[in-house]
Amino acid sequence: MANISLGNVCPRCGKDRIVTRVYKEKTSSGYAHYKITVCSDQACQKIVEKKLDDEALKRGAIKKEQVRREEERQKNIKRRKREDSE
């Protein structure tokens, strides 16, 4: 019988992924169960991790810019209120 892996394959290379860690966290409504998996091909996993790190940096920069724009918007609102009241 063939060993078929459904839904646990590397999105980049298609090889089976290996479970490296299983844990659970208590939430307000029970427990959340997590499985940390990695690609069985170490070179592919390094590429995937690099891509994920790059995406996280990009998301962080976008979030930082979003916060900056919101702070600027709030300053402008306060400035306009002061100008209108004068």
Q: Using an 8 Å Cβ cutoff, are 17 and 38 in contact? A: yes
5-61 pLDDT per residue, tens: 556 888 889 899 999 899 999 999 999 999 999 999 999 999 999 999 999 999 999
pLDDT at 6: 57
The overall pTM is greater than 0.95: no
Terminal alpha carbon distance of the chain? 83
